[in-house]
Amino acid sequence: MQKRALIVGLGVAGMSAAIGLRRAGWTAVIVERAPGRRTGGYFVNLMPEGMRAAQDLGLDTLHTRDPERGTTWELNRRGHRRPAVGWLDLPGRPTAMVRGDVEAALWQRIRPDGEDGVEVRFATAPVGIAEGDTSVEVVLEDASAGRRHRESFDLVVGADGLRSTVRRLAFGPDERFMTTWNAMICAFPLPGRLPSFGAQDSLVSARAGRAVWVFGLADRAPTALLTYRAKDIGAQFTGNRTERLRAVFDDMDHPAVRHVLDALAGTTDCLFDSVHQVRMDRWHTGRVVLAGDAAWCLNLFSGMGTTAALAGGAELGRVLAEHPGDLAAALTAWEGRLRPFVTTHQRLARLKQQWFMPTHRVSAVVRALVLRLAVGARSGVTEARLLRAAAPVPDGA
């Protein structure tokens, strides 16, 4: 008899797990709390490990958006621009896209409307999980119909994000696992290019405790990231979000920064959240396993969240195929293969945070010096040549 798995969450981790499970001969059912599938989204990148996982999962339609031209510029305190090393210049050569590109490719692979597609139920979430010797009893709530029912599965995969319902039901409250970084992020797409910058140009304006990033992309408008330090995290979610961010970035009085803040007021596609990591000794218990941000949340500063989510799904399918009659052995092997990678990048995220947003004045000075040295050393491109290209681009260009 074919085994059945419930996957909670229709994001990158959830759909990746569904593809992996299907390849291992399982039947997967995905439930998603939202009433429909998300599209669009903010900038993400895939490292080589993520691109390999995408190939393993058969994501033939994955659309990449590496800028074919364009420069990354850094604004200093006086608002003057100089060439900088951008995120896509980092070692490993990340591949650029937006979150919706990855989810669209995964959606094509699970083919929910196809004959052999994965069943997807929207507006549905678990409210109770009870493990037995041979199955997991899950109480599912259908918000659209206003009713609950019980259903049995051989495995439950919690791929429902940082504040995972599955994790709370099966492992305990969020406070046991979520580390607080005293930082906020706000990521969203811009309606068009920055004024006086090229269509695929990127921008960084970083000060101690806050930063504005704009990521230039091919085939679409840039996306923006605002990040800042905050001692009272709870207070950041009160009042008007746009006005709060205007106050945080008030003294960054540059047309490009004002353009980003003006665009925030009109967007409906925005991630505004506090920054955390999830630290757990185990990602599975019995027939319940966590994946993606629910299990390890590397966080946005790591730049590895999408890569890890894809790799987790591909690896889950692999271990289940290798241990077809022993779920405990499969999940133990899955953790053993993934944990070194996750642990490494959770640690590196602290260092990368200083790249995104220096936490104090000393780190801001060190960051600026390192970037200037990196620009000067970049092969085949001189700072003088880039500075000549820094003349404002006419709006009609």
What's the rounded Cα separation, in Å, for the pair 83 and 70? 11
pLDDT in tens, 104-158: 999 999 988 777 789 999 999 999 999 988 999 999 999 988 999 999 999 999 9
Q: How confident is the model at residue 394 (pLDDT cuts 50, 70, 90)?
A: very low
All structural domains of the chain: 4-61+99-177+276-352 (3.50.50.60), 72-96+179-275+356-388 (3.30.9)
Give the per-residue pLDDT at 121: 97
- Of the pLDDT bands very low, low, confident and very high (cuts 50, 70, 90), residue 390 is very low
- Confidence class of residue 219 from pLDDT cuts 50, 70 and 90? very high
Alpha helices in 6-57 (DSSP H): 12-23, 48-56
Mean pLDDT confidence for 293-314:
97
Per-residue pLDDT at 80 exceeds 90: no
Is the pLDDT at 45 greater than 80, yes or no?
A: yes
Dig out the tokens for 245 from the structure. Answer: 């961010």
Q: How high is the pLDDT of residue 382?
A: 39
pLDDT of residue 119: 96
Percentage above 70 pLDDT, the chain: 92
Looking at residue 38, what is its pLDDT?
87
Percent of the chain scored above 90 by pLDDT? 75
User: Which helix (H) or strand (E) is 255 found in, with range?
Assistant: helix 255-266
Residue 386 has pLDDT above 60, yes or no: no
The pLDDT assigned to 249 comes to 94
Q: Binning pLDDT at 50, 70 and 90, where does residue 312 land?
A: very high
Top pLDDT among 368 and 346 is at 346
Q: What is the average per-residue pLDDT within 55-76?
A: 93
Cβ–Cβ < 8 Å for 371, 74: yes
How large is the average pLDDT for residues 365-377? 65
Tens of pLDDT along 226-237? 999 999 999 999
Question: Strand locations in 101-165, DSSP E?
Answer: 119-122, 124-131, 136-142, 147-153, 155-158
pLDDT digits (tens, 9 = 90+) for 177-210: 999 999 999 999 999 999 999 999 999 999 999 9
